[in-house]
């Protein structure tokens, strides 16, 4: 510790304005405040290196390992998990490819997932983000508009990725982006209009260069581009894009296509082989084109997979089995108040029945459980009780009281 009336070698403040100095060699001094700031800088850089390590090929999570991790959090959806696991694994390997003399360059395989609401598209993306060692950003396509119009520009997608990577451009350029609600930017109609389709086909055309791979100038804080604004150049060549959407009504396009293929003597046989309860399993790129995606963007999303609709058995498993299941979340919430929460088995069956009835998917499980538990979550923390048991009669009374019938779909 120094008491020589010296100045800090970093901030220049004298000894009288700080608590103490730390002396170094050749008369150098650092004050206690500068030392704390230096410690924070070292901590941030070490965290960044921990978050984005340079993995070796032996350390890469194999597709089976990635899928096993997804199985802990997401029930069912085997097909989508396999496609997603392979896409992510190949993305890792692509980042590691070394210069070879065979002139073979591995191209990225962007993926698009189709599934009705509440089947787990966003959950798959969020879950796999926990497993990855690359920056991962989730963006919503519904807010995007063509450049120059009210809304967010296409480049805002990369702004989110830069923020996740702490503005480390090299790290962001090997990241993964999940674009949710991709179906909301479908072409509004085939008929020409006097107005521009600025939130539909215009956005799709703007996405082409991002999906294909190009150097894009990104505003660091998002928002509109300005002539005097400093831009960050980001190369999207190595960024993997995963898209998801409900594509509500695309089953009609699939059914129409399947019917046109059934002709003549084998017509009856062909119809029997088609599973009308899950037409999404027959989805093909031409169905996406019929729905309103332009051929150019379909070609840049070469891997197409689907998510199965959730039946009653899957919903029942979702309620209790995953690591972060809804019931486990409520048990933990009450446990934080030293209250042991228990649901009767018939209550769980009742919640599943209501979710099936209202056609809300997995999200419906949460809404119904929240409605049942709201009064207890409000009153119980103020009561001196250690155990709470939820019965079927109690659950039914809360559902009827809340008039949850308003959630029914037409």
DSSP for 322-351, written as a single string: STT-HHHHHHHHHHTTT-EEEE-HHHHHHH
- The torsion angles phi and psi of 23, rounded to 5 degrees, stand at -90, 140
> How much of the chain, in percent, has pLDDT values that exceed 90?
28
CB 60 within 8 A of CB 90: no
| Contacts with 80 (C-beta within 8 Å, 6 or more apart), sequence order | 113, 115, 120, 124, 305, 306, 307
CATH 1.10.8.60 fits 312-407, yes or no: yes
CA nearest 83: which of 97, 96, 70?
A: 70
Question: Alpha-carbon distance 42 to 36, whole Å?
Answer: 10
Q: Do domains 57-306 and 312-407 have the same CATH topology?
A: no
Task: Give the dihedral sign, CA 268/270/275/277.
Answer: negative
- pLDDT at site 99: 53
- pLDDT at site 268: 46
Which residues of the chain fall short of a pLDDT of 70? 1-5, 43-58, 98-102, 146-151, 188-199, 221-229, 260-272, 403-410
Q: Average model confidence (pLDDT) for the chain? A: 81
Length of the chain as a residue count? 410
Task: Spell 89-109 as b/e; 16+ CB within 10 A means b.
Answer: bbbbebbeeeeeeeeeeeebb
19-76 pLDDT, tens digit each:
888 887 777 888 888 888 888 787 666 544 444 445 566 678 899 999 999 999 998 8
Residue 294 token pair = 């332009």
Strands 21-23 and 29-31: antiparallel
- pLDDT at site 156: 84
Domain limits of the chain? 15-51, 57-306, 312-407
Strands 232-235 and 136-140: unpaired
Q: Is the pTM of this model over 0.85?
A: no
Q: Tell me the CATH number for domain 57-306.
A: 3.40.50.300
Q: How far apart are the first and last CA of the chain?
A: 76
């Amino acid at each position: 510790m120094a008491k020589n009336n010296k100045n800090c070698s970093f901030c220049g403040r004298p000894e009288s304005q700080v608590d103490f100095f730390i002396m170094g060699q050749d008369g150098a001094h650092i004050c206690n405040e500068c030392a704390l700031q230096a410690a924070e800088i070292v901590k941030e850089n070490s965290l960044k290196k921990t978050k984005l390590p340079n993995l070796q090929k032996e350390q890469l999570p194999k597709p089976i390992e990635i899928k096993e991790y997804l199985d802990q959090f997401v029930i069912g959806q085997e097909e989508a998990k396999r496609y997603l696991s392979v896409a992510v694994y190949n993305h890792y390997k692509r980042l590691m490819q070394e210069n070879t003399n065979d002139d073979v360059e591995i191209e990225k395989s962007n993926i698009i997932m189709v599934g009705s609401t509440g089947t787990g598209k966003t959950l798959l993306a969020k879950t796999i983000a926990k497993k990855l060692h690359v920056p991962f950003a989730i963006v919503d396509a519904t807010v995007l508009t063509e450049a120059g119009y009210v809304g967010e520009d296409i480049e805002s997608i990369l702004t989110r990725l830069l923020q996740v990577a702490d503005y480390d451009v090299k790290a962001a350029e090997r990241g993964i982006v999940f674009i949710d609600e991709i179906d909301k930017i479908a072409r509004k109609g085939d008929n020409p209009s006097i107005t521009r389709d600025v939130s539909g086909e215009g956005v799709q055309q703007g996405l082409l260069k991002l999906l294909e791979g190009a150097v894009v100038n990104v505003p660091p804080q998002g928002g509109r581009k300005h002539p005097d604004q400093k831009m960050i150049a980001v190369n999207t060549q190595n960024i993997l894009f995963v898209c998801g959407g409900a594509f509500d009504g695309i089953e009609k396009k699939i059914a129409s296509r399947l019917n046109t293929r059934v002709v003549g003597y084998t017509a009856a046989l062909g119809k029997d082989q088609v599973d009308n309860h899950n037409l999404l399993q027959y989805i093909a790129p031409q169905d996406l084109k019929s729905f309103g995606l332009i051929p150019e963007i379909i070609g840049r999303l070469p891997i197409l997979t689907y998510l199965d609709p959730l039946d009653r058995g899957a919903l029942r498993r979702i309620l209790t089995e995953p690591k972060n299941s809804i019931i486990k979340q409520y048990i933990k919430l009450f446990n934080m108040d030293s209250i042991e929460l228990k649901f009767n088995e018939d209550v769980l069956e009742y919640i599943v029945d209501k979710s099936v009835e209202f056609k809300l998917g997995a999200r419906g499980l949460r809404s119904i459980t929240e409605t049942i538990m709201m009064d207890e979550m409000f009153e119980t923390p103020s009561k001196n009780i250690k155990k709470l048991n939820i019965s079927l009669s109690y659950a039914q009374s809360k559902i009827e009281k809340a008039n949850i019938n308003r959630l029914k779909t037409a």
